[in-house]
Amino acid sequence: MPPHPFALVGSGAPQPCRPHPRFLVTRPQWATLVESLEVTPEVAVLGLWGDPALVHAVLLDEATGRFCIASAPTADGRYLALSPVRPGAARFERMVQDLWGLVAEGAADLRPWLDHGRWPVTAPLAARPAPHAMPPPQPEFLPAEGEGLHQIPVGPVHAGIIEPGHFRFHVQGETVVRLEQRLGYLHKGSIGLMLGKPARVAARFAARLSGDSTVAHGWAFAQAVEAALEVTPPPRAIALRALMAELERIHNHLNDWGFVCNDAAFTWPHARCGALREGVLRAAAVAFGHRLMMDRVIPGGVSVDITPGGAAAVGAALDAVAAEIPTLLAVYESHASLQDRVVGTGVVDAGLAARFAAGGYVGRATGRGFDARAMPGYAPYPELQPQVPVLTQGDVDARVRIRIAELEDSLRMARALLAGLPPGEVTVALPQRGGEGLGITEGFRGECLHHVVLDDGGLVRAVFPRDPSWLQWPLLEAAIEGNIVADFPLCNKSFNCSYSGVDL
């Protein structure tokens, strides 16, 4: 019986990461870790990334709420794969191979992921990237065999106003037998651009990892930098961050709720949600000078204080949303044509969500009640006591209902924050020194993790931003299996995974 993963990792050499520890383990210890993970299902692998000569994995013990990072050296650019025991690691391993050139031995899948063969270099983040001039290869898809099967290729350019990605459906008649996603079209090289920059400059890339989660990602990055430098932002900045984060959750949940109804050809809720969301965005623009509140969260605090008229504008927008939710919900629940489309569609199995450690409404709709605001928790949420709604059905309807419950709780918290904004400064100066930190916040989609290492001059030496979609996208492939092709937009919208967030 191998030791518990946390005991094993904790026996490695401690590294100066705050507030969650990081340990450097040996290659044999990493191999034991893989065995240990196999028999310890409550320990989740939330992310895996590289360094020129190391691999790092973030682990969460769901039984105790502890986080840690395990780092292991690679030998000849190779390390032992985690994907045989944690299927969610597979896409990370493919990404690590494409960006750092590190190969996961024994991996479930080693086809290229982000690298479509169109960059001028291979392994751009390796110590020595190699020039690349070959024509791009044809992508290979997993096969599906049987009588009457055919393929439907969709994308990268889709029919709606959404991000690009390729979906390869294998279908039999109307029924989807297998869906495989091929992403990476949005790879912008964000990590490479963040390296060597001061923390506040690098924060602009964190804010543009996924525009719909700009506050959540900006906050997680800021948290990591602040932990690294051991600074605490002023109380007013923390309250304003939470207010912006809840406004972000409200406008995105409204958007998704409306779009799910729209994809079931029921347009009235979409029109109403759109109008309410526009009100929230306008209030955000009045209060913080930007509709999406981009670049408002910066390491050390927030870049702007709320304007004098901001609180009233936000309050009015929140009142309008609160007043209409009961009607929208009654209409959503009582129209058979809509319920028929969402109930029982795109079911995610609870066991699968747990194995992939899927966060956000994807996990919470199927029994995995993880919310970073509650675990590990961060200021100011312990005072606000966020409710974490959990359902077990795992279908499109459950994912919508989790959003509605969160919408109502966010309204409560945003109003409480507005009513009790502490006075004082909104930013502190950042000392110019080195350090290492891990930031974790709960965006509307799920938990956003940012690991940052600053050198002695305060410049970013290593960074990895992990969007929650990494562990949710693969479940969409499972959710659509056995459903009809026509229900794919509905399932996809109920997940609403970020393309840009995982394409880096």
Partner 1 sequence: MQSLRRLMWPRLARSLFATPLTDPPPVVPEELVQALADRLEESSQQRLGRSLSIRQVDAGSCNGCELEINALNNVVHDLERFGLRFVASPRHADVLLVTGPLTRNMREALERTWACTPDPKWIVAVGDCAVDGGVFKGSYAVEGGIGAALPVDLVIPGCPPTPTQMLEGLLALVEAQSRPAGR
Longest dimension (CA), the chain: 70
Q: Which is nearer to partner 1, 483 or 500 (CB)?
A: 500
**Is residue 141 within the footprint of partner 1 (CB under 8 A)?**
no
**Is residue 162 within the footprint of partner 1 (CB under 8 A)?**
yes
**Is residue 327 within the footprint of partner 1 (CB under 8 A)?**
yes
List C-alpha distances in Å: 422 to 37, 151, 222, 310, 429: 44, 58, 20, 15, 19
**Is residue 40 within the footprint of partner 1 (CB under 8 A)?**
no
153 prior amide bond cis, ω within 30? no
Nearest distance in Å: CB 140, partner 1: 17
**Is residue 167 within the footprint of partner 1 (CB under 8 A)?**
no
**Is residue 54 within the footprint of partner 1 (CB under 8 A)?**
no
Q: In the beta sheet, which residues pair with residue 465?
A: 450
**Is residue 198 within the footprint of partner 1 (CB under 8 A)?**
no
DSSP state of 377: I
The packing angle between helices 267-288 and 235-263, to 10°, is: 160
Q: Which is nearer to partner 1, 29 or 262 (CB)?
A: 262
Q: Which is nearer to partner 1, 29 or 498 (CB)?
A: 498
Q: Which of residues 244-283 bind partner 1 (CB under 8 A)?
A: 255, 268, 271, 274-275, 277-278, 281
CA–CA dist 73, 55 (Å, integer): 7
Size of the site for partner 1 (CB under 8 A): 55
DSSP 63-106: TTTEEEEEEEE-BTTEEE-STTT-TTHHHHHHHHHHHH--EEET
For partner 1, which residue of 156, 235, 315, 376 counts as binding (CB under 8 A)?
Answer: 156
Q: Are 195 and 100 in contact (CB under 8 A)?
A: no
Q: Which is nearer to partner 1, 274 or 434 (CB)?
A: 274
CA–CA dist 251, 238 (Å, integer): 20
Nearest distance in Å: CB 193, partner 1: 5
Q: Which is nearer to partner 1, 107 or 123 (CB)?
A: 123
CA–CA dist 264, 486 (Å, integer): 10
Nearest distance in Å: CB 71, partner 1: 26
Q: Which is nearer to partner 1, 209 or 375 (CB)?
A: 209
Q: Which of residues 290-309 bind partner 1 (CB under 8 A)?
A: 291-292, 294
Nearest distance in Å: CB 87, partner 1: 25
CA–CA dist 336, 34 (Å, integer): 48
Return the amino acid letter for 81. Answer: A
**Is residue 330 within the footprint of partner 1 (CB under 8 A)?**
yes
Terminal C-alpha separation, the chain: 38
Q: Which is nearer to partner 1, 43 or 183 (CB)?
A: 183
Q: Which of residues 462-501 bind partner 1 (CB under 8 A)?
A: 498-500
**Is residue 410 within the footprint of partner 1 (CB under 8 A)?**
no
Q: Which is nearer to partner 1, 116 or 415 (CB)?
A: 116
Nearest distance in Å: CB 466, partner 1: 16
For partner 1, which residue of 52, 84, 211, 376 counts as binding (CB under 8 A)?
Answer: 211
The packing angle between helices 396-419 and 310-334, to 10°, is: 160
Nearest distance in Å: CB 186, partner 1: 5
3-class secondary structure, 59: strand
CB under 8 Å, gap of 24 or more: what pairs does 178-181 form? Answer: 178/142, 178/144, 178/477, 178/481, 179/476, 179/477, 179/480, 179/481, 179/488, 180/141, 180/142, 180/477, 181/473, 181/476, 181/477
Nearest Cα to 323, choosing from 401, 251, 411? 411
For partner 1, which residue of 51, 163, 246, 395 counts as binding (CB under 8 A)?
Answer: 163
Nearest distance in Å: CB 118, partner 1: 4
CA–CA dist 283, 428 (Å, integer): 26
For partner 1, which residue of 18, 119, 200, 388 counts as binding (CB under 8 A)?
Answer: 119
CA–CA dist 338, 344 (Å, integer): 12
CA–CA dist 260, 400 (Å, integer): 8
Q: Which is nearer to partner 1, 75 or 343 (CB)?
A: 343
Binding mask 332-361 for partner 1 (x = CB under 8 A): -xxx--------------------------
For partner 1, which residue of 59, 72, 95, 209 counts as binding (CB under 8 A)?
Answer: 209
For partner 1, which residue of 63, 142, 157, 195 counts as binding (CB under 8 A)?
Answer: 157
Taking residue 402's Cβ as centre, other Cβ atoms within 10 Å add up to 23
**Is residue 142 within the footprint of partner 1 (CB under 8 A)?**
no
Return the amino acid letter for 182. Answer: R
Nearest distance in Å: CB 221, partner 1: 14
Q: Which is nearer to partner 1, 5 or 184 (CB)?
A: 184
Q: Which of residues 177-196 bind partner 1 (CB under 8 A)?
A: 184-190, 192-193
In the sheet with 175-182, reading across from the earlier edge strand, the strands are 149-154, 166-172, 175-182
19 prior amide bond cis, ω within 30? yes
**Is residue 18 within the footprint of partner 1 (CB under 8 A)?**
no
Where along the sequence are the contacts to partner 1 (CB under 8 A)?
114, 116, 118-121, 124, 129, 156-157, 159-164, 184-190, 192-193, 204-205, 208-212, 214, 255, 268, 271, 274-275, 277-278, 281, 285, 291-292, 294, 326-327, 330-331, 333-335, 498-500
